[in-house]
Amino acid sequence: MERDSQLELYGQVADRLKEAHAKVRELQVPEGVRMALSRKLLVVTAAAKHDLPGAARRLDRLMKDLDEGRFPEGD
């Protein structure tokens, strides 16, 4: 039963990561900001391999920041 919930969470995180990548691509922001956001998405992706619930929380925070227009500083 727990494996089923783990697979369900994995599918949800994968779908949300796709959504986040699309959202970042569509943003009208400087390239440095886009790169910083892409790095954050890569960190979430890597975290999902070892800590799926933690990655889901990180992704939730990142999506909330994107929705509210809070972006990291670009290089």
Q: Provide DSSP, 1-63.
A: -HHHHHHHHHHHHHHHHHHHHHHHHH----HHHHHHHHHHHHHHHHHHTT-HHHHHHHHHHHH
Task: Tell me if residue 70 falls in helix, strand or coil.
Answer: coil
Q: Please, what is the Cα angle at 42 between 64 and 47, to 5 degrees?
A: 85
pTM reported for the whole predicted model: 0.83
pLDDT tens, residue by residue, 2-30: 777 888 999 999 999 999 999 999 999 99
Q: What is the pLDDT of residue 75?
A: 61
